[in-house]
Amino acid sequence: MADVGRLNGGGRPIEGDVVAGEAAQDALLARLTLLSEASTVLTETLDPDAALYRLAQLVVPVLGDWCGVHVMADWTRHPGWRAPLRWPACSRAGSHS
């Protein structure tokens, strides 16, 4: 007898549910991997500029085309840019204009 797996209420195989579940697991694993890599990047160095630059390099290909990090020096002053923006077209050309 062939193994058809689980069936839904109508007696049809629920293969689509299994595929969707596997896709959800893959997405969760990708998010957890990114979080783990970000934690590693932030703790590898005591230099905040280097850590934030590495963090921007990590998240750009995963979360977007570019990244900017805005950091508060303290609660009484306005924040300033600490990590450079990464513009793919400009970085290939070697300029940020």
| Residue 87, domain member (yes or no) | yes
Find how far residue 59's CA is from the centre of its chain. Answer: 5
Total domain count, the chain: 2
Amino acid 90: pLDDT? 47
Give the domain extent around 19.
Answer: 12-44
List 83's β-bridge partners, or say none. Answer: 69
| Residue 59, domain member (yes or no) | no
pLDDT digits over 37-92, tens only? 999 999 999 998 889 889 988 988 888 888 887 777 665 555 555 555 555 554 54
| Residue 69, domain member (yes or no) | yes
pTM across the whole model: 0.54
Amino acid 24: pLDDT? 83
* Bigger pLDDT: 80 vs 35: 35
DSSP code of residue 9: T
Q: If DSSP codes are grouped into helix, strand and coil, which group holds residue 49?
A: helix
pLDDT digits over 43-53, tens only? 999 998 889 88
